[in-house]
Amino acid sequence: MELITRPRRLRGNAVLRKMVRETRIDASSLVYPMFVMEGKNIKEEIPSMPGQYRYSVDRMEEKLTELADAGVSSVMLFGIPEHKDEVGSGAYAEDGIVQKAFRKAKEVCPELYMIGDVCMCEYTSHGHCGVLCDHDVDNDKTLELLAKTALSQVQAGADMVAPSDMMDGRVAAIRAKLDEKGYVNTPIMSYAVKFASSFYGPFRDAAGSAPSFGDRKSYQMDFHNRREALKEAMLDVEEGADIIMVKPAMAYGDLIREVKDRTDIPVASYSVSGEYAMVKAAAQAGFIDEASILCEMAVSAYRAGTDIYITYFAEELAGYMKEGRIG
């Protein structure tokens, strides 16, 4: 046969395959989500997320040091308060759990870049992401509390804030509050395209944030909708988001790519708790090779257009990058 074009020529050995690789990733793009809780000397495994833990503030250092040693330079904190109320006051309290955690993190691992998840669901007694009016979340009243929460996190040491509530106008409200208080250089990473997804189940177990009634479909997005996803992304860009996120990651590569093509700012994606739990369960059953699967999942997100990958497998992925298995 007289074949002029032979794609296999560029697959001949490992050096050549890596030389022509189209998708390249680095540990600096990984973000590890971490749960912190009230109490002392606590490292509590999350039943639905084997290998993931809730830490008391005094036990944070061991995990943060482990992450830094592995090459993971960014951590996103989620707080689990001891007490909750109707307005989620623990989210913006000066001595709130996540505020204490930011101060501790900056004390013990100042080289780590710390990101604050800004939402109300972990802090409200009803588990919804804002202030209730009857049985509905009041969008505009919630904006003030989200802005207060973001400000309190930055004042406690957060380097970036990431609103995940899906209220209309939250990016603009947070940007205005931070600028007013002099934090003009603090970036906002918006959960711009966040779907009402069944992939979040284990997170709600981890954070104790399941709604006590109803669901979040009136503010999180319908996963059938593509054009609405692009509208949400562009609205957040217009409001001042510095980074926009698509969540979940694995089942939404098409939208990661479309958002990437439509915008000129970095795009993040979040490989959520359900993705983690499925990999762990299948690996423990002997059905899959865990390392190969999580590497393939990560590459698929980056190939789709991800610049920043938020994942519970951050430490493992950083190790595989060092080994040359992925990157």
pLDDT, tens digit (0-9, with 9 covering 90-100), for 23-58:
889 999 999 999 999 999 999 999 999 999 999 999
> Has residue 6 been placed in a domain?
no
Contact 76, 105 (CB under 8 A): no
End-to-end CA distance of the chain, in Å?
36
The number of domains in the chain is 1
Active site residue 106: no
With 80 as the cut, is the pLDDT of residue 204 above it?
Answer: no
Which residue is associated with the tokens 């050096």? 15
| Active-site position among 148, 177, 247, 280 | 247
* CATH number of 183's domain: 3.20.20.70
- Neighbouring CB atoms inside 10 A of 223's CB total 17
Active site residue 194: yes
Copy the structure tokens of residue 209: 């944030």
Residues 6+ apart with CB under 8 A from 159: 113, 114, 115, 186, 187
Residues 6+ apart with CB under 8 A from 197: 220, 223, 247, 248, 251, 272, 274
Measured distance CA(33)–CA(44) in Å, rounded: 15
> Has residue 272 been placed in a domain?
yes
> Has residue 15 been placed in a domain?
no
Measured distance CA(117)–CA(106) in Å, rounded: 16
> Has residue 127 been placed in a domain?
yes
Q: Which pLDDT value is given to residue 214?
A: 62
Whether the bond between 47 and the residue before it is cis, its omega within 30 degrees of 0, is no
Looking at residue 241, its amino acid is A
Q: Which pLDDT value is given to residue 213?
A: 66
Measured distance CA(211)–CA(203) in Å, rounded: 12
> Has residue 180 been placed in a domain?
yes
| Active-site position among 63, 100, 104, 194 | 194
Residue percentage of the chain with pLDDT more than 90: 81
**What 3-state class would DSSP assign to 265?**
coil
Strand partners for 32:
75
Q: Residue 268's domain spans which residues?
A: 23-321
pLDDT, tens digit (0-9, with 9 covering 90-100), for 134-162:
878 899 999 999 999 999 999 999 999 99
> Has residue 54 been placed in a domain?
yes
Q: Which pLDDT value is given to residue 79?
A: 96
With 80 as the cut, is the pLDDT of residue 247 above it?
Answer: yes
> Has residue 4 been placed in a domain?
no
> Where residue 94 falls among pLDDT bands split at 50, 70, 90?
very high
Looking at residue 218, its amino acid is S
> Where residue 208 falls among pLDDT bands split at 50, 70, 90?
low
Query: What mean pLDDT is predicted for residues 236-260?
Result: 97
> Has residue 195 been placed in a domain?
yes
Copy the structure tokens of residue 18: 């890596």
Q: Which pLDDT value is given to residue 219?
A: 86
> Where residue 265 falls among pLDDT bands split at 50, 70, 90?
very high
